[in-house]
Chains A and B, each alone.
Chain A
């Protein structure tokens, strides 16, 4: 069945072009008016016919007969044209081909003459007189001429006869009917015989080319006589499938047949509307729930500055260029710099190409397109708006007066409650009463030891103040009091009838002494509790609290003459205490925390954590709701006591440690003073409503003080140890030489030089306070001078050794025990000092950094001191007893002890210098420790005590000396081992 249909189709296809050909012929025949068809058109049409035929190359065997018929028809046509050819051979317009016999094939072939590309070959160069071209000729309808010739002359319109003339012409002229109207020349033109021939051929449906021979004899290329296939390609018998129908096709057909039978396939299914393809709008779908994809941002149009050759004013200046390069690529206003090129070909490649592509890829890969909104914030707008200081007057603005203490540092200051008098106490033990207004010292009291603290009693009905000196509180009445107040003060401090002693015994003694002009009342704290570093009064003036340098806190009640320690045990060392102005609360500041106790209920209320490493000062706002805490690490914390235990505000504005803080009693001001010599005044307004935060405005920096203290004393002590060690050995050598001037003079000169170097060395090391390390750090030395000092010391020791050797070898040739002792001691001392001193000397020569330059000096000094001490002690022992006696009593009270102490103190001090934990203001290592032996032995046992408990004293200064206790003890141990 299929074979049937396909053959039908091919037939149909085959017939269609034939019909068209016939139609064409009919059209041509029926055309009445003739037109000049070009040759090409016809050729094409015929060619297309051939092409169509070639489109169907598969020809059934069954249709062979038809083809034969067609070829027969063509043969007939060929015959006809051959006849025509013979007629019109003289009319042929094309170049005539010559038919020659090819040498190669031996067959005839047509050879056309060569085309010469000259004028003759081109018809466009034919000399037409009218040169107006292809313009509509009706333009010349109203004119006498019809155009212009090649020389610009008018071509006149040829005369044309009317219809009658035309008719007559057809009658007279036999050629009239073969002429055509020439538009260009507006006249009739007779057609040439060639043209007529073409017309004729076209009419007849022949090839216009007269030379064309449609009936050329066929050339048998592969078939025909002599070309039969003698041997088939394969000897295999014809396969069966060539003549048997395909089994597979049969199966396939049967499948379709079965489907048709079962009704699964309806062969001629009527076409319904549904079966027709339905068009639909793809956009009319309901929108999905996903958010629509973000549209790509529209690129803005390029501006002038993006041009390759922008105007000059768009080019950036050097400053703008530098600024552009300095800014972060993300912060740049535009991502290019305008550049000028004189021509487009000088523009280089886009250097950001790779990067931009990469960013685009990033954009597409996992990174959603987001619009980054860049906020340009002026940093000034972030600063909170504060009222201007001038609107917050009054506040202290300038230094009005200076009160000068003749000697000693002023350590304590207190203003009387009425503001008329000021009290100051210095380290020399002098308490001065000043008239505030003029700065005149009205009265002066002298105490034996330094003033720890002092404070006025805040009561108005009595007037006195308390001075804390050396475990004792002195109550003093100022002069020039009205008699009423004076008597009231006297009666309150030294009442005629003492109140009954408290049930709880207290170690604190109250001693009234009205006859003494110094103090009317003394409160003796337990011994060795240390100097009271702070005295603070309760607002009502009956209770007073003191903090001793030993860390003891006492609360004294004046009316009952009783003192009690509020805390049995305090965690951490207490720095400061304060009474709450209104409530029975008590603030205790340890090194890092501020604890608030309720005194009436005797319990801890709150622990404030200021985050300061070492609290130095504290004051409570007169309202009692706010507390400021200052620290040695420069921080100032403002606490709102009703809020959290963390600071409301932390400020760090001082260059150095904050020393003291105070609120103004009435004005909303507070001030902080610092080691940098400046006092800063702040406006601190506290609002009554709980919602508004306190307003803190910095107002003024007062710089009236000059900082005078340095590190010199520490360095001094260190150098002293080296000097003493060398000098002691030198003295021994001089003794060996029996004080010969030959030895004393050079050694003395060398010793003086040594002293000079060491003295100069005191001012070498400079240090500065480092807030991050919370310590004082050596920041500069003079390594060359240090090196010289070390080498000088080593050389000096060598010379001493040599002198000793010569003395021993030459003079005292008797080899006694003493001789051996001196010999070995001298050698040992030299070897020890040389080795220990060489390490810092080498480090100095290397000059790695400032820390390394000084770091080895401490052990060197310590070891050489020990060696010197050892030498001295051994000699001492040798002199005192032949037998080794372990006796400390032997040491007491003589120079050895002093030397040992010197070295101890020196080692300690040197530790302090090298280890950065020490603070700048530790200049209180007073000279007494290095004073002459007579002073040590003087009846002032204080010096003795201080020396013995010097480490405690240093700690009492609030200095972290604790960590140095260990090396000091080592030194002690070493000495006792030797002893």
Chain B
């Protein structure tokens, strides 16, 4: 007995520890006992750096989060004792905590936490609601007659928002604490607009629609209508026109129309000032040059209607959620229309509907996905086999299967979740003291 315990404690692995966190260890080889687990390793780093406040770390061994002891992991993967392990450590994601729960009358389709101190939710009843951190409703106004599908905020101008709706238009509006003023309506699409997003410089907007078109717009508000009002609406609004001609939102035309998709485009985002990325139900992810308006690259997946899309801050990796219950990681640097650009797949038990990226540059490999079963999962892209952490939204509400998450945003240390049961805010402590 004694000898065996001695043996297991004596067996040790050569390990090289590396990190991208601001807590690097000198690169040298450690002999780590095989029965050490994450906790011991984390303590080792804390002690070695003599950190004033203990910071928990997670350890990635060959793209996998270390959940067992080192020896067990080696035995599982058939590693010999002499082989040197390269272990990367990252700051642990603490279990997220629910901060607030704001019920809504209708489903929340999209949320934004981009504004400091405010949450913006877009709902299926056509309302945009703004809340401050103490859950007080700041603004509540109906912008669309039909369900709003997505909302986009401009951090530089906190009163300006862009919304897309199933009423075939997108809107740029100004929300003050008191009043709401639609500034411009974007007219291009003949089907419900599925998403709207702004470029990093906030000068351009991009909309995706069910009619397989992508519109690129600038954010300037025109002084007059760029698009003639169509007959029906003209008839309907003929009475109102005389009353508030000046306040009427201007009808705005796109600066470019990107046509290449063959089915519904579910999401379009900017990856730079000129480049855009889109995904759709035709199982393709396309990269665009918006200035020229051509599709520069197409990633064709097989039978994967995509629902949502996100690009990491590095700009080289795209994530696309599809209805076959996977989130696929694509490498955008790969040449041509390569099918081999799939880096990895995050498998979900239910359809993932939305993806949110970690806002911190230090943890740029972390993403959150929300799915139709009401569970938000936080992943590290280096460890694609299992989520680092997951939590259930609206645990005490609704039936099973009716807790769909439709919108997710991760900013300022909180994750905003919008869905069937309203809006919830969870604090995600990333160890950033």
Question: Which of the 9-residue segments B48-56, B177-185, B227-235 touches chain A?
Answer: B227-235
Instruction: Tell me, yes or no, whether A170 is within 8 Å of chain B by CB.
Output: no
Question: How far is B101's CA from A648's CA once the two chains are assembled, in angstroms?
Answer: 59
CB proximity of B124 to chain A, nearest CB, Å = 6
- Knowing A401-B372, A438-B406, A439-B404 are in contact, say whether A420-B264 is a contact too (CB < 8 A): yes
Decide: A479 and B146 in contact? CB cutoff 8 A.
yes
Are the C-beta atoms of B107 and A480 separated by less than 8 Å?
A: no
Q: Is the CB of B406 within 8 A of A482?
A: no
Question: How far is A554 from B318 in the complex, measured between Cα atoms in Å?
Answer: 54
A439 to B420, CA, bound (A): 10
Which chain A residue lies CB-closest to B233? A483
* Chain A residues with CB below 8 A from B404, complex form: 401, 438-439
Q: Which residues from chain B contact A487 at a C-beta distance below 8 Å?
A: 231-232
CB-nearest residue of chain B to A490: B232
Report which of B168, B231, B233, B353 forms a contact with A480, defined as CB distance below 8 A: B168
Interface range on chain A (Cβ under 8 Å from partner): 20 to 34
Partner of B147, one of A402, A404, A440, A482: A440
- Let me know if A400 is at the binding interface, CB within 8 A: yes
| Interface residue? A927 (CB, 8 A) | no
- Please give, as numbers and ranges, the residues of chain A lying within 8 Å of B264 by CB-CB distance: 420
| CB contact between B402 and one of A402, A435, A483 (< 8 Å): that residue | A402
Most chain B CB within a 10 A radius of its CB, from A401, A404, A483, A486: A483
Known contacts A440-B147, A480-B168, A484-B190; is-contact A400 B353 (Cβ 8 Å):
no
**Residue B57, interface by CB 8 Å:** no
Of all chain B residues, the one with the shortest Cβ separation from A485 is B190
Q: How far is the CA of A255 from the CA of B279 in the complex (A)?
A: 133
CB of A137 within 8 A of chain B? no
B351 at the interface (CB under 8 A from A): yes
Query: Number of contacts between A and B (CB, 8 Å)?
Result: 52
Whether a CB of chain B sits under 8 angstroms from the CB of A110 is: no
Nearest-CB residue, chain B, relative to A399: B401
Task: Report the Cα distance A812→B401, complex, angstroms.
Answer: 69
Residue A746, interface by CB 8 Å:
no
Check: B192 CB closer than 8 A to any chain A CB. yes
Report yes or no: A483 in contact with B124, Cβ–Cβ below 8 A.
no
B225 is an interface residue with CB less than 8 A from chain A? no
The reply to whether A440 and B190 form a contact with Cβ atoms under 8 Å apart is no
B232 contacts A400, CB within 8 Å? no
In whole angstroms, what is the CA distance A293 to B175 when docked?
Answer: 110
Within 8 A of B (CB), among A479-500: 479-480, 482-487
What A residues does B218 contact at CB under 8 A? none
Q: Does A265 contact B (CB under 8 A)?
A: no
Q: Is the C-beta of B379 less than 8 angstroms from some C-beta in chain A? A: no
For residue A254, CB closer than 8 A to chain B, the reply is: no
CB distance from A132 to the nearest CB of B (A): 89
Inter-chain contact B230/A484, CB cutoff 8 Å: yes
Bound together, the chains give a CA A394 to CA B323 distance in angstroms of: 12
Report B-chain residues with C-beta under 8 Å of the C-beta of A482.
168, 190-191
Chain A residues near B401 (CB, 8 Å)? 401-402
Note all chain A residues with C-beta closer than 8 A to B190.
482, 484-485
Complex contact B210–A393 (CB within 8 A): no
- Residues of A near B231 (CB, < 8 A) are 483, 487
Q: In chain B between 266 and 319, which residues have their CB closer than 8 angstroms to a CB of chain A?
A: 303, 307
List the B side residues contacting A401 at CB < 8 Å: 351, 372, 401, 404
* Residue A809 interfacial (CB < 8 Å): no
Q: For the complex, what is the distance from the CA of A480 to the CA of B231, rounded to whole Å? A: 15
Residue B166 interfacial (CB < 8 Å): yes
Fill in one digit per residue for B401-424: 1 if any A CB lies within 8 Å of its CB, else 0.
110101000000000000000000
In the assembled complex, B430 has its CB within 8 A of some CB on chain A: no
**Chain B residues within an 8 Å CB radius of A402:** 401-402
> Given A394-B303, A440-B124, are A400 and B230 also a contact pair (CB < 8 Å)?
no
CB-based contact B146/A480 at 8 Å = yes
**A260 close to chain B: CB less than 8 A:** no
Q: Decide if A480 touches B166 in the complex (CB within 8 Å).
A: yes
B167 at interface by CB-CB < 8 Å: yes
Given A394-B303, A480-B146, A480-B192: A400 touches B323 (CB 8 Å cut-off): yes
Inter-chain contacts of A440 with B (CB < 8 A) = 107, 124, 147
B95-137 interface with A by 8 A CB criterion: 107, 124
Q: Measured between C-beta atoms, what is the minimum distance from B387 to chain A in Å?
A: 20
Q: List the B side residues contacting A438 at CB < 8 Å.
A: 107, 353, 404, 406
Residues of B close to A480: CB separation below 8 A: 146, 166-168, 192
CB-nearest residue of chain A relative to B305?
A: A437
Give the CA-CA distance A440 to B233 in the complex, in Å: 26
- A814 within 8 Å of B (CB atoms): no
Interfacial chain A residues near B325, Cβ < 8 Å: 398
Q: Least Cβ distance of A764 to chain B in Å?
A: 32
Question: Which residues of chain B are near A398, meaning CB under 8 Å?
Answer: 325
Task: Report the minimal beta-carbon distance from A226 to chain B, rounded to whole angstroms.
Answer: 136
**What are the interface flags for B183-196 relative to A under an 8 Å C-beta threshold, 1 for contact and 0 otherwise?**
00000001110000
- Residues in A with CB closer than 8 Å to B146 are 442, 479-480
Taking a contact as CB atoms under 8 Å apart, the answer to whether B147 and A400 are in contact is: no
Contact A486-B351, Cβ < 8 Å, known A402-B401, A480-B167: no
1/0 per position for A389-407, CB-CB distance to B under 8 A? 0000110001011101000
- Least CB distance from B404 to A in Å reads 7
Q: How far is the CA of A326 from the CA of B190 in the complex (A)?
A: 73
Q: In angstroms, how far is the closest chain A Cβ from the Cβ of B399?
A: 8
Separation in Å of the A319 CB from the closest CB of chain B? 40
Complex CA gap A435/B166 in Å reads: 10
> B230 — which chain A residues lie within 8 A by C-beta?
483-484
Closest B residue to A486 using CB positions: B232
* A419-454 interface with B by 8 A CB criterion: 420, 435, 437-440, 442
Q: Would you call A400 and B303 a contact (CB within 8 A)?
A: no
Q: Mark A457-499, 1 if CB is under 8 A from B, else 0.
A: 0000000000000000000000110111111000000000000
Q: Which residue of B lies closest to A479 (CB)?
A: B146
Q: How far is the CA of A418 from the CA of B281 in the complex (A)?
A: 12
- Interface residue from A400, A420, A439, A483 paired with B210 (Cβ < 8 Å): A420
Specify which of B191, B372, B406 is in contact with A400 (CB 8 Å cutoff). B372
- Interface membership of chain A positions 320-357, coded 1 if the CB is closer than 8 angstroms to chain B and 0 otherwise: 00000000000000000000000000000000000000
Residues of A with C-beta under 8 A to B191: 420, 482
Inter-subunit contact B232/A483 (CB<8 Å):
yes
Q: A29–B433 Cα gap in the complex (Å)?
A: 156
- The complex places the Cα of A418 from the Cα of B107 at a distance, in Å, of 24
Q: Cα distance A435–B148 when bound, in Å?
A: 13
Query: When the two chains form their complex, are residues B372 and A442 in contact, meaning their CB atoms are under 8 A apart?
Result: no
Smallest Cβ distance from A486 to chain B, in angstroms? 6
Looking at A398, A404, A482, the one whose CB has the most chain B CB atoms below 10 A away is A482
Q: In the complex, what distance in Å separates the CA atom of A43 from the CA atom of B68?
A: 120
Within 8 A of B (CB), among A362-418: 393-394, 398, 400-402, 404, 418
Instruction: Please determine whether A393 and B168 come into contact, CB atoms closer than 8 angstroms.
Output: no
Residues of A within 8 A of B351 (CB): 400-401
Which residues of B in the span 321-343 have a Cβ within 8 Å of any Cβ on A? 323, 325
How distant is A835 from chain B, measured CB to nearest CB, in Å? 54
Bound CA span A440–B167, Å: 15
A393 to B324 Cα, complex, angstroms:
12
Closest to A487 in B: B232
Query: Taking the nearest CB of chain A, how far is it from the CB of B306, in angstroms?
Result: 11
Distance from A626 Cβ to chain B, minimum over Cβ atoms (Å): 24
**Cβ-defined contact, A404 with B167, below 8 A:** no
Extra A-B contacts (11), CB below 8 Å, given A400-B351, A483-B230, A483-B232: A400-B323, A402-B401, A438-B107, A438-B404, A439-B404, A442-B147, A480-B146, A482-B191, A483-B231, A484-B230, A487-B232
Q: List 18 A-B contacts (CB under 8 A).
A: A393-B303, A400-B351, A401-B401, A402-B401, A418-B210, A420-B210, A435-B166, A438-B353, A439-B404, A440-B107, A440-B147, A480-B146, A480-B166, A482-B191, A483-B231, A483-B232, A486-B232, A487-B232
Which A residues are within 8 Å of any B CB, using their own CB? 393-394, 398, 400-402, 404, 418, 420, 435, 437-440, 442, 479-480, 482-487
Q: Give the 5 A-B CB pairs with smallest separation, nearest first.
A: A482-B190, A483-B230, A394-B303, A483-B232, A480-B146
